Structure 1
């Protein structure tokens, strides 16, 4: 099924715009990770958060991409019978699957950017 391209483009722009904050998040997070690595205590809170967020986002992204492709495959024959070009053949399904895969990561990156940008006392 071919969606309105402006709606899909808007969603993709939001997702990929969020991901563009990743270098800033890394730059803000590296000093925290380094200080945790150098401390004697078992306080690796930021380290564990970084690991669990990435694992969770990867798993959720993979599931979202699979769900998006499954939806496109279920719509294949009804779209063909209706005389339209199916999204699996036009490449639109791949783009939607990729956007779905990165959506959770983008949301997490934006949340991390907001959290790490706050003054230290409010973290």
Structure 2
């Protein structure tokens, strides 16, 4: 049995919020590693470089995903109008999908970082 659209959206939002609760933990797990790397001669190797590159990639991926979601909603505007439905660009659904698409990649990255850093000795 499929969940109603409102319930499905609420579940996705809760899943995203749950994943982002790990963000402070990931930051705290990285701090000792970053402090140790700062004392070396080559501070941008290892975790520091990975963290910076990951943030830039996540920002670019999020913007791209959000824009592609909005482009899809714009492409569906006239078919939605012609079928008698309220266009998603007008009722806020397009914006919701766009934000969801942008956060989906960030959620995966946070969860992957938590798993990777929690295995570290």
After superposing on structure 2, the runs of 4+ consecutive aligned residues of structure 1 that deviate more than 2 Å are: 3-17, 39-44
Distance in 2 (CA, whole Å) between partners of 1:46 and 1:119 is 12
Q: Secondary structure at the match of 1:96?
A: helix
Q: C-alpha root-mean-square deviation of aligned residues, in Å?
A: 1.9
Distance in 1 (CA, whole Å) between partners of 2:44 and 2:54 is 17
Where in structure 2 are the equivalents of 1:9-88 lying within 5 Å?
9-41=10-42, 44-88=45-89
- Give the structure-2-normalised TM-score: 0.86
- Give the structure-1-normalised TM-score: 0.85
**Please, which runs of 5 or more residues in structure 2 have no aligned partner?**
none
Distance in 1 (CA, whole Å) between partners of 2:120 and 2:64 is 35
**Please, which runs of 5 or more residues in structure 1 have no aligned partner?**
none
Please report how far the alpha carbon of residue 5 of structure 1 lies from its aligned counterpart in structure 2 after TM superposition: 3.9
| Aligned 8 A contact 1:72 1:88 in 2 | yes
Superposed CA offset, 1:5-56 (max 9, x none): 4444433433332222111100111111111101235572000000111111
